[in-house]
Amino acid sequence: RSDATTDYYEITARAATARILPGQDTEVWGYQGTFPGPTIESRSGRRTVVTHRNALPHATAVHLHGGHTPHDSDGYPLDLISPQGGGDAMAGMGGMSKMAGMPGMSGATFQPQRDYTYPMNQRAATLWYHDHTMGFTGPQVYRGLAGFHLVRDDEEAALGLPHGPRELPLMIADRAFAADGSFAYPALDGNEGKPGVTDAYMNGVLGDVILVNGAPWPVARVDRARYRLRMLNGSNARRYRLALDPQPPGGGGLLQIGSDGGLLERPTAHDTLELAPAERFDVVVDFARYPAGTSVRLVNQLGSGSTSEVMRFDIGSGGGADDSRVPAKLSSIERLDPAKAAATRTFVFQKSQNNWTINGDEYRPGRSLASPKLGQVEIWRFITDFHHPVHMHLDPFQVVSRNGDAPGAYDAGWKDTVDVLPAQGVEVAVRFTDYAGRFLLHCHNLEHEDMAMMAEFTTE
């Protein structure tokens, strides 16, 4: 539904049975009962309102990842949608909060449904929406609560990039399955929904089946033409190094055109792409560089055995003309000047006392670690012990340095999640804009996030 100013969507989170593995039924918790959920599309500058309802037995909160969104629609982890049956029942959640050393759910508010209002004052980009419930994001996303939200604008439309059936959003996510076909989330096994602190939970939950848009190792039949692949790492904790196998003659088969926050200034050819959880890479692959009949595998060089395969493209002979283009100049990106930063702040992501913390503190709702001023640029420095994909809400940032050196090969453009490897320091420049209120900074390893590696900042 649409009117003069706004596009409206209605989404209900519910349990449903999916056929993911051959011959087996898997219960998913999906937006509209599907995993991934329906893809939402917005026009830059045009408001989108999504009404979310919840037919699951647990509370939910929905965050638009990469959205430039006011606090009250940002999916704050205590702004909850009541589970089926209403009230504020928090079945299975109390134990989780205690485990993570959190002060429970005090301060939570419950509504039977929520209207999330997204102004969409932001450029074209590949966003995604997913669950963000206090202490329970990992298991709820693992069960399927994630979907794409694409923003389009005129600048991008004018470029002539591959589109329609040659534009493929690819949500890459690993899962493990129990013998009966259900998702095996280690911490939930035999534990009535309350996770125990096993190593498999502590370090982030990994699966041994790679799903792309909810299907294991799928095969896409493609023409000898350019395709735009909007890759999202929707995994709870797994990192990937993706490559085409075989590479096209001359290499550079993965032509990156965009990152988390939309188009790069110019296309950048890669042989491999490294994706941490929640990162997006917008890539054009020209299958005309291969002979008809070639099967091209998308492989994960960081995996082994079943996790080294992602999907396959079988190139047909037909398809007709390819009228798409990838211009040498895609967009212009204003550089945020680190020399003009109003403040530099350091956030240390580390394990302390068997929990994941930021600056030694477990997440506590309502405690703010920083109060940046709207309109100002700041440098935020992230220092880690382990691998932590660091994500900021509200505004995108630019990577300024990595370990004191120039940004890495995968840091270009506007980012909202940065892959910080063990014992690294990454500096980003960010300008806080438009919306005053409480927003989140956290690790996007979802088990780390649930285990309290999250903090609030308050823009003013």
- Residues binding ligand C2O: number (CB under 6 A): 10
278 binds, among ligand C2O, Cu ion, none (CB under 5 to 8 A by kind): ligand C2O
Query: Which of 38-75 are b and which e, b meaning 16 or more Cβ less than 10 Å from the residue's Cβ?
Result: bebebbbebbbbbebbbebebbbbbbbbbbbbbbebbb
Q: Is 440 an interacting residue with respect to ligand C2O (CB under 6 A)?
A: yes
Residue from 52, 132, 228, 230 touching ligand C2O (CB under 6 A): that is 132
Please give the radius of gyration of the chain, using alpha carbons only, rounded to the nearest integer: 21
Residue nearest to ligand C2O (CB): 65
Question: At its nearest, how many Å lie between ligand C2O and the CB of residue 220?
Answer: 26
Question: At its nearest, how many Å lie between ligand C2O and the CB of residue 293?
Answer: 40
Q: Is 52 an interacting residue with respect to Cu ion (CB under 5 A)?
A: no
448 binds, among ligand C2O, Cu ion, none (CB under 5 to 8 A by kind): Cu ion
Q: Is 391 an interacting residue with respect to Cu ion (CB under 5 A)?
A: no
* The amino acid at 379: I
Q: Is 130 an interacting residue with respect to ligand C2O (CB under 6 A)?
A: yes
Q: What is the x/- site pattern for ligand C2O, positions 227-256, by CB under 6 A?
A: ------------------------------
Residues 399-458 that bind Cu ion (CB under 5 A): 443, 445, 448
| Stretch touching Cu ion by CB under 5 A, among 207-215, 256-264, 358-366, 388-396 | 388-396
| Tokens of residue 389, six digits | 């994909």
Q: Which is nearer to ligand C2O, 228 or 391 (CB)?
A: 391
Question: At its nearest, how many Å lie between ligand C2O and the CB of residue 146?
Answer: 9
Helices (H), 216-363: none
Q: Is 278 an interacting residue with respect to ligand C2O (CB under 6 A)?
A: yes
Question: At its nearest, how many Å lie between Cu ion and the CB of residue 252?
Answer: 32
Q: Are 143 and 193 in contact (CB under 8 A)?
A: no
Q: Which is nearer to ligand C2O, 153 or 449 (CB)?
A: 449
Cα-based distances in Å from 159 to 231, 233, 327, 419: 20, 26, 7, 29
Half-sphere exposure of 342 (CA within 13 A, CB side): 11
Q: Are 139 and 93 in contact (CB under 8 A)?
A: no
Cα-based distances in Å from 308 to 30, 256, 298: 26, 21, 9
List all residues 6 or more positions away from 72 whose beta carbon is below 8 Å from its beta carbon. Answer: 79, 437
132 binds, among Cu ion, ligand C2O, none (CB under 5 to 8 A by kind): ligand C2O
Residues 329-388 that bind ligand C2O (CB under 6 A): none
Residue from 58, 130, 270, 388 touching Cu ion (CB under 5 A): that is 388
Q: What's the length of the chain?
A: 460
Sort strands 167-175 and 226-233 into parallel, antiparallel or unpaired.
parallel
Q: Which is nearer to ligand C2O, 400 or 453 (CB)?
A: 453
Q: Which is nearer to Cu ion, 181 or 207 (CB)?
A: 207
* The amino acid at 261: G
68 binds, among Cu ion, ligand C2O, none (CB under 5 to 8 A by kind): none
Q: Are 447 and 351 in contact (CB under 8 A)?
A: no
Question: At its nearest, how many Å lie between ligand C2O and the CB of residue 443?
Answer: 9
| Tokens of residue 273, six digits | 């792409």
Closest by CA position to 145, among listed 237, 46, 29? 29
Closest by CA position to 428, among listed 382, 387, 393, 459? 382
List of residues contacting ligand C2O (CB under 6 A)? 63, 65, 130, 132, 278, 391, 393, 440, 442, 444
User: Which residues form the interface with Cu ion (CB under 5 A)?
Assistant: 388, 443, 445, 448
